[in-house]
Structure 1
Amino acid sequence: MTPTTGRRRRSLFAAVAAAALGVLGLAATPAAAQEWRGWNIHAADYPNGVGMDAFTRLVAERTNNRIRMRTFHSAQLGQQDEAIQQMRLGTIDFANFNLSPFNNLAPSTNVVTLPFLFRDVGHMQRAIDGPAGEAIARDLEAIGIVALSWYDAGARSLYTTRPVRAPADLRGMKIRVQTSDLWIDLMRALGANPTPLPFGEVFTSLQSGVIDGAENNWPSYESTRHFEVARFYSTTEHSNVPEVLAVSAQRWRRLNEQERAILRDAARESAAIQRRSWADRERVSRERVVAAGVTVIEIADRAPWAALMEPVYAKYAADARLAELVRAIRGMQ
């Protein structure tokens, strides 16, 4: 071997060694931190905000801040319909959504929105943590949204500017509903005039007489101060629709299996926190509006109301898959 050949081989070995060290160094370099944007329609101190903040904190801790999430509370990134579109496009990374606005996008969400389906909160939670949640998660993933866990949203009842004690009292009244065919048909079945409006416009619409009432749970009724302009709350408890904590499928596809497991575990833990916070907030909210002089009309017998829902079930649970899901939920102990 000539001196020149030896020098060439030593240079080649040095180059290979340097390249190997470079690869090892790259592999040892921590993954770049990810900055995620999250959407929440409620204030930070609302149970949903408490749950979401717990979720982001747990994820940051368990990924050593590789995934850093910031939740924009109080609908800072737009109203829910806008946020759903942003989520599907990937410009919002995670969010807590009510399921009703998905009724026209994800068929199985219609089932848990059906009126008078759940006997009580425990029944709803068992269903959404089981067969109902599994069905909905499949439908949501098909439109670009990955469900991680389920939050409580309470039983929804009617609140109005004049007393409502029976379905007949609703005839001709303009009642705000979410943007959903099912909710529109539900109110029509009760004899009301359904009026789809963004949630943020409800107070001024009640105040100005654009609508005569709306429907929601105790904390929403209290926290938005809707009780100041709609002084009658009728405990119809016609719906108990859970909410979803989800991430954009575009973000999800870029995660490894370990990161996905961390997000799922953190989401389930946050749901337990949110549910406890919800139960406390529901009790406090009712006490506050009663103290403020709201008239609570207790609906002891919901059977006359439920009897009017047959056309709604026939339309939205006629599909064999959805009808079977309704039967499964009703048959749960």
Structure 2
Amino acid sequence: MFCSDRNEDNTKRSTRRPARTRFLCIACGILASLLFALVMWTVQATPVYAASKTYIKFSTLAPEGSSWMNRMNTLSAEVDKATNGEVAFKFYPGGVSGDEIDVIRKMRIGQLHAAGFTGVGLGQILPEVRVLDLPFLFRDDKEIEHVYDSMTEYFAGQFEKEGYVLLGWVPVGWIHFFSQKPIDNIEDLHDKKAWMWEGDPLVQETYKHLGVTPFPMSITDVLLSLQTGMLDTVYASPVGALALQWFTKVRYMSELRMGNATGAVLMTTRQFKKLSESQQKAVRDISRKNLKKLVQQVQQDNDRAIEVIKKNGLKVAPMPSEAERQKFFDVGEKVRKGLAGNLFDQKLLDQVLTHLNEFRS
């Protein structure tokens, strides 16, 4: 505190006080200006970061390096570019997330967001889609393409009701019997130790009319069961038999085709709705384009797989006689009648058959 004495020292202090006060005020003003300038420079210099990236966690049984994964990596790169890096896929290939039942459970609780499924997995979500898996129904790839294109809008709506977005079809391909002994007729199947994917009502109904008592188990248990002799007959696409190494434990592949196995890519609606409208469109359009290309690649891969397994010693059991083939076709008709009203309704079956017959005519 200043004293009120009027001695010389106090007089000097009193005359110096206004100058120092002015100095402090000027210094404070300069400091405030510097701070303001610094704040404004920081605001202007701070980069504007893009919105946080949305990841789509995607599971598939296909191994890394396969045509499936090569195409999916292309799809992911295109989505990343189209969305300016705001949407990206994170893949879990080779069945590391478990079989299809495990994947569905993880999608329902949000651990996974999308996956590639065979008909078995699709049927767990929407049983009626198995109408596309009916045995001895299709004759060639063009019939399959026509029916799928004709039914896409319907099934997309049905999957939407179950909480999934149908991004595209990717049929697994034609299904053959792989066995220790050749299968020339239905009777040859009667004494076989035949595998059935556990929980598959369609194959169960098929085996019933073929006179087969199957061994139900997970797909991951098949190779060991073939090695130990618990199984001696399985069904698969050529690519599947090659990738899963089943062809190394059997001697024959039937030229007769059991049917064509459906497949598709689904994404949970919950995760899809996290995307903006433009991002949703990009994911739909890019998926549709790439999955169409993948269908063609799968067909080519199955043809090449047949050549590979033949070079490795597997023999192709010739096509049964026309009379024997008709017996298999008759089984297909019995399966359709047995499952109509249970796995799918008669109206849906009639719709598929109408599209098929229209194409054939």
Q: Does 1:159 align with 2:178?
A: yes
Structure 1: 5+ residue runs without aligned partners? 1-21, 23-27
User: Cα deviation per residue 1:211-247 (whole Å; 9 max; x = unaligned)?
Assistant: 1211011111122221111111112212112211121
Correspondence for 1:323 among 321, 324, 349: 349
Structure 2: 5+ residue runs without aligned partners? 1-42
In structure 2, C-alpha distance between the alignment counterparts of 1:130 and 1:29, rounded to whole Å: 44
Name the SS of the counterpart of 1:64 in structure 2.
Answer: coil
In structure 2, C-alpha distance between the alignment counterparts of 1:298 and 1:142, rounded to whole Å: 44
| Aligned pairs (5 A) from 1:215-254 | 215-254=235-274
Q: Does 1:193 align with 2:216?
A: no
Contact 1:175 1:187 (8 Å CA) reproduced: no
Correspondence for 2:194 among 164, 170, 175: 175
Contact 2:150 2:355 (8 Å CA) reproduced: no
Which residue pairs with 2:29 in the alignment? none
Partner amino acid for 1:304? K
In structure 1, C-alpha distance between the alignment counterparts of 2:170 and 2:349, rounded to whole Å: 24
| Aligned pairs (5 A) from 1:289-308 | 289-300=309-320, 301=322, 302-308=325-331
Q: Does 1:111 align with 2:136?
A: no
Which structure shows the bigger proportion of residues in helix conformation?
A: 2
Q: Which moved more, 1:148-157 or 1:45-54?
A: 45-54
Partner amino acid for 1:279? Q
In structure 1, C-alpha distance between the alignment counterparts of 2:256 and 2:223, rounded to whole Å: 21
Q: How many residues align?
A: 306
Which residue pairs with 1:135 in the alignment? 154
Contact 1:88 1:143 (8 Å CA) reproduced: no
Which residue pairs with 1:75 in the alignment? 95
Partner amino acid for 1:260? Q
Q: Which moved more, 1:319-328 or 1:290-299?
A: 319-328
With the length of structure 2 as denominator, give the TM-score of the two structures.
0.80
Name the SS of the counterpart of 1:91 in structure 2.
Answer: coil
User: Cα deviation per residue 1:148-168 (whole Å; 9 max; x = unaligned)?
Assistant: 111131100100122211111
Instruction: Flag the 1:48–1:328 CA change in 2: closer, same or farther, 3 A.
Output: farther
| Aligned pairs (5 A) from 1:246-285 | 246-285=266-305
Contact 2:180 2:252 (8 Å CA) reproduced: yes
With the length of structure 1 as denominator, give the TM-score of the two structures.
0.86
Q: Does 1:42 align with 2:62?
A: yes
Partner amino acid for 1:321? K
User: Cα deviation per residue 1:167-225 (whole Å; 9 max; x = unaligned)?
Assistant: 11000322212231111111221111222222222111111122121101111112222
Correspondence for 2:116 among 84, 93, 96: 96
Partner amino acid for 1:221? A
In structure 2, C-alpha distance between the alignment counterparts of 1:147 and 1:42, rounded to whole Å: 19
In structure 2, C-alpha distance between the alignment counterparts of 1:100 and 1:136, rounded to whole Å: 16
Larger Rg: 2
Contact 2:122 2:263 (8 Å CA) reproduced: no
Contact 2:147 2:352 (8 Å CA) reproduced: no
Partner amino acid for 2:278? Q
TM-aligned CA deviation for residue 82 of structure 1: 0.4
Name the SS of the counterpart of 2:296 in structure 1.
Answer: helix
Identity over aligned residues, as a percent? Answer: 21
Which residue pairs with 2:5 in the alignment? none
TM-aligned CA deviation for residue 263 of structure 1: 0.7
Correspondence for 2:76 among 56, 72, 80: 56
Contact 1:48 1:151 (8 Å CA) reproduced: no
In structure 1, C-alpha distance between the alignment counterparts of 2:338 and 2:211, rounded to whole Å: 17
Contact 1:90 1:249 (8 Å CA) reproduced: no
Which residue pairs with 2:16 in the alignment? none
